[in-house]
């Protein structure tokens, strides 16, 4: 897959990063998209957050609070939080942006005029007083091509009082994209994991509206989806300083929201975590024909490529496709990605001065894919399936594919592997949550409509008392604004209703082989394929036997992952895992030699790592220079046919950056590819 060289003397135009968040409610951005959001505001980037619903919820139902007053108070809470993140006075001006037949209310931070809040004021999905009934945003999203509309929650004579149709919402978002020119669009979870806490219908509908608007915008942007309510079902993955800052900004908002109970454990747990719905992984660059490297990314739901030339790098070029999720993987000259609930494969070709791709539909897929070549050189592709386990398809030498096969777990009575003994305690990184404040998560319930969740972990600095019971329990999911589950009624704070939690029931535990998370990785080649699948508490291993058959090898001893993992082979061909350790921000590695695993090694230093993504070793003891601005996903390290090593990153300005490693093992400066 060799491509054309860039024209001599071609200049790279400056590109500035811009960010638009599309959320359902005031506070969704602070809870689920931070610290990403806060970091961009602090760096001085242009940031616009679009809030679809007014967020009135149940205000005025069962209390004397006026719903419109509550809407204004929640907006004031956002004002305070955004001003605090920007480090400027809390002063805003209101402007009007016209979009077709509707007016959009936009608030601009006076001391930072590149920070905006836009409000569409659609009804909250839990408000039963709305003319169209509950789930107004979800109804609009599902009602494509219809004239059905939902009135806004605004004063009767407000210039922003409208009745929005589906088309009006999409057009409003595209109008704001055109005005603020984002390179990154952040939104919520379009497909929440059904194994864990049920999500809000407004969140899902908002994510789908944002995805449709991104596709209609016409410019390539990186879309990033974030997990919402079930974020609390995962281990803590923010360090003390980061989570403390997130808590401070949310406290500025919370002071204006009378319906948030400070004792509610769900709100506390969300402030200790941030996770992406579709981790991008570290398998998006491959060695193409002629030994040259080729990188791929999904922008605006379409597949794009950059490629190495005799004189440098060139791109991007569109390979087509539509509705693709951001995560992808490459193997065997093909690119694999999710489109809706299906897995598709693209085979790129360069001919006649342009790039094209042949697309193949590989059937239903739930999670993000990982592909790796096996003994024959043909790829096997693995996905997390609808049952929470792993399924695989393999390509034969004639190009045909096997049907999906579910990988089996341990046989009945199979003994668990023992972890290797440690001669000394594992070092604990400074500034990370201690083991006493971050207990190992307990598997949640089996798939059901409303499963129980992991116990929320305490805020950093608080003490916990171990439960003497041998069987850990999992509390029930608490509704928004309620206190943590207790056997007796809580004393209400001013303006809040007392909550009596129901008696706890015995939790249904998800088996480890049904608790697989996105962020798997595998190693392949002549020695066969070894697959590694993280759960919330351990890493499971499967080993290729013959053909497309895989044998469960158990849980990797001593490894407690905090999210996606990276698998590589060392110089001797031994599989090596690199991962962030649960309960800390330390990066560790474990190696399998002769089918025996070593204990987790000292934290690595020279790695690429982004919160919520798999850590990637740089192959050098000297860390590469910092990118001009953060990466979308995690950078990747790849070696071309001549042995030259490159670090490749997709940055938040939408451009690919490349850094080459010199003979001394030191990486040079990052250079953008036009």
- Predicted local distance difference test score (pLDDT) of residue 215: 97
- Predicted local distance difference test score (pLDDT) of residue 146: 84
508 pLDDT band, cuts 50/70/90, is low
Q: Mean pLDDT over residues 497-502, rounded? A: 40
Residue 421 has pLDDT above 60, yes or no: no
pLDDT tens-digit series, residues 370-379: 999 999 899 9
As a whole number, the mean pLDDT across the chain is 86
Residue 648 has pLDDT above 70, yes or no: yes
Residue 458 has pLDDT above 70, yes or no: no
451/457 Cα distance (integer angstroms): 18
Share of the chain above pLDDT 70, in %: 83
Residue 333 has pLDDT above 60, yes or no: yes
- Predicted local distance difference test score (pLDDT) of residue 545: 94
Q: Is 259 left (phi over 0), alpha (psi -120 to 50) or beta?
A: alpha
Please state, as a whole number, how many other Cβ atoms lie within 10 Å of the Cβ of residue 234.
Answer: 25
Please give the order of strands across the beta sheet that includes 596-597. 566-569, 575-580, 587-593, 596-597
Residue 421 lies in a domain: no
Lowest mean pLDDT among 34-38, 106-110, 443-447, 499-503: 443-447
- Predicted local distance difference test score (pLDDT) of residue 483: 37
Residue 560 has pLDDT above 80, yes or no: yes
Residue 616 lies in a domain: no
Please give the order of strands across the beta sheet that includes 636-639. 636-639, 645-650, 656-660, 671-673
The answer to whether residues 562 and 237 touch, using CB atoms and an 8 Å cutoff, is yes
Nearest to residue 637, comparing CAs of 648, 624, 628, 626?
A: 648
594/579 Cα distance (integer angstroms): 21
Nearest to residue 337, comparing CAs of 350, 356, 323?
A: 323
Q: Mean pLDDT over residues 115-132, rounded? A: 94
- Predicted local distance difference test score (pLDDT) of residue 469: 37
Residue 6 has pLDDT above 80, yes or no: no
Nearest to residue 622, comparing CAs of 609, 606, 610?
A: 606
- Predicted local distance difference test score (pLDDT) of residue 506: 54
- Predicted local distance difference test score (pLDDT) of residue 15: 59
- Predicted local distance difference test score (pLDDT) of residue 441: 42
Residue 47 has pLDDT above 50, yes or no: yes
What phi and psi, each to the nearest 5 degrees, are found at residue 240?
-60, -50
Q: How far apart are the first and last CA of the chain?
A: 19
Residue 78 lies in a domain: yes
Residue 461 has pLDDT above 50, yes or no: no
Mapping DSSP onto H, E and C, the string for 489-552 reads CCCCCCCCCCCCCCCCCCCCCCCHHHCCCCCCEEECCCCCCEEEEECCCCEEEEEECCCCCEEE
Strand ranges in 32-101 using DSSP code E only, listed in sequence order: 46-53, 92-99
| Residue 198 domain boundaries | 19-261
Residue 360 lies in a domain: no
Residue 451 lies in a domain: no
Please give the order of strands across the beta sheet that includes 184-187. 92-99, 102-109, 115-122, 46-53, 18-23, 184-187, 222-225
Total number of domains in the chain = 1
- Predicted local distance difference test score (pLDDT) of residue 643: 95
Quick one: tokens of 545? 């036997």
- Which run of H or of E encompasses 655? none
What phi and psi, each to the nearest 5 degrees, are found at residue 29?
-65, -40
Lowest mean pLDDT among 59-68, 595-604, 605-614: 595-604
Residue 263 has pLDDT above 70, yes or no: yes
pLDDT tens-digit series, residues 160-202: 999 999 999 999 999 999 999 999 999 999 999 999 999 999 9
CATH number at residue 162: 3.40.50.10320
- Predicted local distance difference test score (pLDDT) of residue 600: 80
Residue 164 lies in a domain: yes
Find where tokens 């929640």 sit: 74
Lowest mean pLDDT among 71-85, 254-268, 558-572, 654-668: 254-268
The answer to whether residues 188 and 274 touch, using CB atoms and an 8 Å cutoff, is no
SS3 for 312?
Answer: strand
pLDDT tens-digit series, residues 540-554: 999 999 999 999 999
Lowest mean pLDDT among 41-55, 402-416, 488-502: 488-502
Lowest mean pLDDT among 3-7, 116-120, 166-170, 651-655: 3-7
CB neighbour list of residue 571: distance below 8 Å, 6 or more residues apart: none
Residue 479 has pLDDT above 60, yes or no: no
Residue 224 lies in a domain: yes
Nearest to residue 426, comparing CAs of 573, 599, 574, 551?
A: 599
Residue 8 has pLDDT above 50, yes or no: no
Q: Mean pLDDT over residues 326-349, rounded? A: 96
The answer to whether residues 147 and 80 touch, using CB atoms and an 8 Å cutoff, is no
Residue 490 has pLDDT above 90, yes or no: no
- CA angle, 438 as apex, 436 and 440 as ends, to 5°? 105
Residue 288 lies in a domain: no
Q: Mean pLDDT over residues 497-504, rounded? A: 42
- CA 42 centroid distance within chain: 21
């Amino acid at each position: 897959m060799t491509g054309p060289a860039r024209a001599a003397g071609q200049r790279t135009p400056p590109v500035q990063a811009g960010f638009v968040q599309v959320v359902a409610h005031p506070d969704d951005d602070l809870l689920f998209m931070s610290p990403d959001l806060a970091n961009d505001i602090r760096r001085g980037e242009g940031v616009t957050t679009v809030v679809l619903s007014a967020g009135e919820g149940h205000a005025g139902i069962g209390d004397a609070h006026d719903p419109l007053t509550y809407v204004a108070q929640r907006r004031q809470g956002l004002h305070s939080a955004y001003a605090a993140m920007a480090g400027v006075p809390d002063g805003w001006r209101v402007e009007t942006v016209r979009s077709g037949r509707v007016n959009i209310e936009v608030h601009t931070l006076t001391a930072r005029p590149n920070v905006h809040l836009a409000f569409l004021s659609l009804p909250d999905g839990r408000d039963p007083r709305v003319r169209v009934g509950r789930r107004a945003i979800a109804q609009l999203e599902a009602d494509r091509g219809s004239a059905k509309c939902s009135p806004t929650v605004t004063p009767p004579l407000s210039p922003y009082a409208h009745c929005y149709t589906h088309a009006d919402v999409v057009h409003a978002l595209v109008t704001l994209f055109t005005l603020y020119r984002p390179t990154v669009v952040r939104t919520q979870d379009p497909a929440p994991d059904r194994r864990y806490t049920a999500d809000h219908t407004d969140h899902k509908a908002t994510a789908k509206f944002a995805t449709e608007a991104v596709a209609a915008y016409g410019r390539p942007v990186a879309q990033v989806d974030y997990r919402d309510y079930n974020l609390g079902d995962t281990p803590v993955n923010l360090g003390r300083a980061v989570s403390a800052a997130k808590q401070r900004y949310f406290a500025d908002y919370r002071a204006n929201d009378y319906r948030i109970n400070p004792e509610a454990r769900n709100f506390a747990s969300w402030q200790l975590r941030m996770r992406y719905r579709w981790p991008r992984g570290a398998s998006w660059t491959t060695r193409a024909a002629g030994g040259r490297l080729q990188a791929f990314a999904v922008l605006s739901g379409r597949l794009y490529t950059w490629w190495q030339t005799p004189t440098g790098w060139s791109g991007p070029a569109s390979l087509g496709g539509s509705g693709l999720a951001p995560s992808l993987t490459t193997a065997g000259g093909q690119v694999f990605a999710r489109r809706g609930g299906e897995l598709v494969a693209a085979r790129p070709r360069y001919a006649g001065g342009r790039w094209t791709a042949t697309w193949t539909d590989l059937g239903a897929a739930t999670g993000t894919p990982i592909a790796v070549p096996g003994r024959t050189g043909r790829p096997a592709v693995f996905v997390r399936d609808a049952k929470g386990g792993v399924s695989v398809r393999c390509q034969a030498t004639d190009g045909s594919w096997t049907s999906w096969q579910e990988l089996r777990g341990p046989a009945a009575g199979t003994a668990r592997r023992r972890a290797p003994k440690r001669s000394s305690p594992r070092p604990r990184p400074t500034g990370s949550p201690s083991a006493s404040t971050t207990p190992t998560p307990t598997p949640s319930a089996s798939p059901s409509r409303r499963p129980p969740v992991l116990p929320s972990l305490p805020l950093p600095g608080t003490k916990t008392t171990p439960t003497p019971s041998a069987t850990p329990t999992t509390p029930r999911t608490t509704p928004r604004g309620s206190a943590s589950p207790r056997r007796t009624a809580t004393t209400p704070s001013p303006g809040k209703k007392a909550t009596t939690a129901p008696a706890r029931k015995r939790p249904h535990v998800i088996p480890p082989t049904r608790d697989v998370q996105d962020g798997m990785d595998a190693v392949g080649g002549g020695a066969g394929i070894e697959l590694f699948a993280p759960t919330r508490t351990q890493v499971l291993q499967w080993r290729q036997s013959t053909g497309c058959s895989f044998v469960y090898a158990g849980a990797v001893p001593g490894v407690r992952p905090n999210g996606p993992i990276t698998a590589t082979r060392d110089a001797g061909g031994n599989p090596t895992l690199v991962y962030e350790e649960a309960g800390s921000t330390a990066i560790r590695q474990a190696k399998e030699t002769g089918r025996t695993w070593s204990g987790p090694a000292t934290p690595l230093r020279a790695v690429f790592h982004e919160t919520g993504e798999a850590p990637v070793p740089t192959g050098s003891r000297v860390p590469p220079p910092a990118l001009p601005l953060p990466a979308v996903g995690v950078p990747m390290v790849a070696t071309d046919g001549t042995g030259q090593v490159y670090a490749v990153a997709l940055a938040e300005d939408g451009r690919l950056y490349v850094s080459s490693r010199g003979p001394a093992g030191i990486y040079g400066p990052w250079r953008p590819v036009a």
